[in-house]
Chains A and B, each alone.
Chain A
């Protein structure tokens, strides 16, 4: 998985609960991303960050929050406002958000609702 570690592999959320997905990379990449993958659909961008202490909303940011306090870490919090959180979440990184950027993905976290 190219030096990107996601944890946990499986996560269960109770109604009204916030949960946090971890993403750590040791590739010295500036750009980091969170994607959501649902069956039969292409990956959808939740949030991205191009530099420490800065991040931008993607296409489906509602109900999610992120932080980028360190270059290596980009945790994603799924809040209780996200009404349909069940999905496979993928974290990715790249050298920079550029035309030919190659994304390196983690192994993903499967989030399910109890």
Chain B
């Protein structure tokens, strides 16, 4: 069964601190992995995409990693800001026979406190 599990479920950090969010997946056949940021009461917005051959990709203060062997990804946030408070969703794409299926994790809810 295709699954995406994220940890922790929720996280509280102080402004300026770093944090790392985890995503483990059992999806086959793996195509790519995206991280989305979802502000409360809004729709998710894509932060970055990781394909099979990529290990690390940065987008400003966000750095995503992918280990295709262990089927794990992480999202590292550096020097957190209050505006980073949101849910972060890991989405894995399985593409086979012309059919693309997206499997969503439940998300990690991050709260950044002053």
Listed in ascending order, the chain A residues whose CB lies under 8 Å from chain B are 1-2, 4, 6, 40-45, 90, 92, 97-103, 105-108, 110
Interface of A is mostly: loop
List A contacts of B43 (CB < 8 A): 1, 4, 6, 90, 92, 105-108
CB-based contact A107/B100 at 8 Å: no
List B contacts of A107 (CB < 8 A): 41-43
Other-chain contact of B104, A43, A97, A98, A99 (Cβ < 8 Å): A43
Our count of residue pairs bridging A and B at CB distance below 8 angstroms stands at 53
Which residues of B from 7 to 49 have beta carbons under 8 Å from A?
A: 9, 31-32, 34, 41-46, 49
Listed in ascending order, the chain B residues whose CB lies under 8 Å from chain A are 4, 9, 31-32, 34, 41-46, 49, 51, 89, 93, 95, 100, 102-107
Besides A99-B32, A101-B93, 14 more A-B contacts (Cβ < 8 Å) are: A6-B43, A40-B9, A43-B104, A90-B44, A99-B31, A99-B95, A99-B100, A100-B31, A100-B49, A101-B100, A103-B102, A106-B43, A107-B43, A108-B42
CB-based contact B93/A99 at 8 Å: yes
